[in-house]
A and B are shown apart, each in its own frame.
Chain A
Amino acid sequence: MDDYVTGVLTNIGLFSFLALSAYLLLIAGEMSFGQQAFFGVGAYSGGILTAIYGLPLPVAALVAMLLGSLCAFLVGLPTLRLRGLYFAMATLAAAEMARILFELFRFQRQIGGELVGPDGTQGFRGIRWVFERGVEPAGYLALVWGLLLIALVVFLLMERSRLGATLRAIGEDPDLARSCGISVERFKLGVAAAAGALAALGGVLFAHHNTYIEPRNFDIMLGVHSLAYALIGGLGTAFGPLLGVMVDLGVLEGSRVFQGYRMIAFGGLVAILLIFRPRGLLDEKVVHWLRARFS
């Protein structure tokens, strides 16, 4: 495997965390345009912890996930009171505020003769933990996909549980869920916090893969894509978001036919797909049919 293939596969993995994060909110009935903010929180906090404080990556990742989860919870407190489009707009606004805060954020220290740390719009260079330990791209790819696999297994178990059924119930008809004695608000806050942790984990891994992050990395495009991936792949199973990422990064990358026009092709693809399959390729009906057939 050359660096290119490894790079593409790693990117698919990194995007998948964000797509899963958007997916988790979508099955609970909320469309967030702001998951990129928690991705950014994870990237910045994880990067600071390894590059400035010299903590090992696993510890940094755990702390970053907690922080991402806390931020998502705090953002969720006011925004989850809103419904539908208003929630989407509020999350977008919150994420843009976060991006501007990253632009204002300066926290540099002398490490090994150079200044390391976030430097506003100049970005944050030198997140070298992975390189200093001689981890090869293939090794990092295995780490990303290993963690993704764990996340997927957790998702699949969760979806078979009563918790999973309850989240889908809330997503489909919150008033009916209330009428079944389900505390909708509490569940949605929990979901937001979990989705924040997931996005933050993706962010930590992204920062250490790229060694460099800057506020622009976490702009609205990233959030729109993560949503689109979940919606394309389908809301019937956690494999859906992965499929969505692969359709875009895998197929389009593999063919390279669209090159610079890829975003236009991607936009068209999303539009066509959502007209014919509003809940994605692997929607609930397809998943139910597959389950009945193969179990």
Chain B
Amino acid sequence: MLELERVSRHFGGVRAVDGLDLKVRDGEIVGLIGPNGSGKSTTVNLVTGLFSLTSGQIRFRGQDIAPLPTHMRLQGGIARTFQNIRLFGQLTVWQNLWVAQNSPADRAKRGFFSRWLGGQSGVRDEIVSLLEFSGLAHKQDELASNLAFGEQRRLELARAMATKPKLLLLDEPAAGMNSEEIGQLRERILKLRERGLTILLVEHVMELVMGVTDRIAVLNFGQKIAEGTPAEIQKDAAVRKAYLGGDAAAAEGGS
């Protein structure tokens, strides 16, 4: 599904991501963990094209996507959420999902004019089911900026789903959540996997990462220091050193 080959991104002298190799296979949930500033979010931004590569290759379903602009990658089936919640605050919950429907399937469904100027018929069912999935049906006409924190997180996930992705990049979706909310998020992620989605989960919250992922890659200073199953990673000496020796607070599940 997604292959990163010797991917690097330097900001001046800072090697935010440095020669990263990473493979995400179809249907897998892969965790990407590491201390703050280890290059996790940069990796997500490189895959979605918000940052350009310094060197290396990114292939999505066998195709080199490095030259594609962000919106093309998203139309191709990559969706994401953001570490610091990003929503269209002046749009309603409904509109947030509506404007995200840009997948090739959605574009093929209706003609140009009816798609842009026509009403909501034909897309209603999908949005309704997304709202139900994320428990936001009763808030559909609320402005996104008026939602509570947990609701905004849920809306972000629903918005990413509205683009009908094949690969979902979740950038710290559990940040700031209590353990009940984390439990609900976990259920949702597992449901998405049942639907056939491939997920790359960037997360600090070990409770979530250890519970849902098939494999975990650990970054430190932009480099991969370990990769393996959750059980292997928990035992890995290098990982323990990076977390406990480098930045103990991050390992305690802070954000």
Contact = CB atoms under 8 A, between A and B. Distances in A.
Interface of A: 157-158, 161-163, 165-166, 168-169, 172-173, 175-184, 284-285, 288, 292
Contact of B91 (A158, A161, A168): A168
9 contacts: A163-B116, A165-B91, A166-B99, A178-B71, A179-B79, A179-B80, A181-B102, A284-B90, A284-B143
Interface string B93-123: 0010011101100000000000111110000
B116 A172 contact: no
B90 A180 contact: no
A179 B49 CA distance: 9
Contact of B163 (A162, A173, A181, A184): A181
Interface of B: 48-50, 69-71, 74-75, 79-80, 82, 86-92, 95, 98-100, 102-103, 115-119, 141, 143, 159, 162-163
A177 B68 CA distance: 16
A184 B102 CA distance: 12
B85 to A, nearest CB: 10
A165 B92 CA distance: 9
Contacts of A157: 117
A163 B103 contact: no
Given A161-B119, A172-B89, A176-B87, 17 more contacts: A161-B118, A162-B98, A165-B95, A166-B99, A169-B95, A169-B99, A172-B88, A175-B50, A176-B88, A178-B49, A178-B69, A179-B80, A181-B75, A181-B163, A284-B90, A285-B143, A288-B143
A182 B50 contact: no
Given A158-B117, A161-B117, A180 B89 contact: no
B99 A182 contact: yes
A189 to B, nearest CB: 14
A284 B91 CA distance: 8
Contact of B100 (A161, A173, A180): A180
B102 A182 contact: yes
A292 B99 contact: no
Contacts of B75: 181
Contact of A179 (B74, B89, B92, B115): B74
A180 B98 contact: no
Contact of B103 (A175, A181, A183, A284): A181
A81 B89 CA distance: 25
B117 A184 contact: no
A172 B71 contact: no
Contacts of B88: 168-169, 172-173, 176
Contacts of A158: 117
Of B86, B88, B92, B162, the most chain A CB neighbours within 10 A belong to: B88
A180 B86 contact: no
Contact of A172 (B90, B102, B118): B90
Contacts of A169: 88, 91, 95, 99
Of A168, A176, A177, A180, the most chain B CB neighbours within 10 A belong to: A180
A173 B144 CA distance: 13
A165 B13 CA distance: 41
A65 B17 CA distance: 50
Given A161-B117, A285-B143, A179 B70 contact: yes
Contacts of A165: 91, 95, 98-99
Contacts of A178: 49-50, 69-71, 74
Contact of A180 (B92, B116, B118, B163): B163
Contacts of A176: 82, 86-88
A179 B103 contact: no
Q: Which 3 A-B pairs have the closest CB atoms?
A: A181-B102, A178-B70, A181-B74
B84 to A, nearest CB: 11
A180 B74 contact: yes
A162 B89 CA distance: 16
B124 to A, nearest CB: 12
Contact of B116 (A161, A175, A285): A161
A179 B71 CA distance: 6
Contacts of B69: 178, 183
Contacts of B49: 178
A46 to B, nearest CB: 28
Of B71, B119, B159, the most chain A CB neighbours within 10 A belong to: B71
B60 to A, nearest CB: 14
A180 B80 CA distance: 9
A1 to B, nearest CB: 37
A168 B92 CA distance: 11
A158 to B, nearest CB: 7
A109 B24 CA distance: 72
A183 B71 CA distance: 6
B137 to A, nearest CB: 17
A103 B116 CA distance: 41
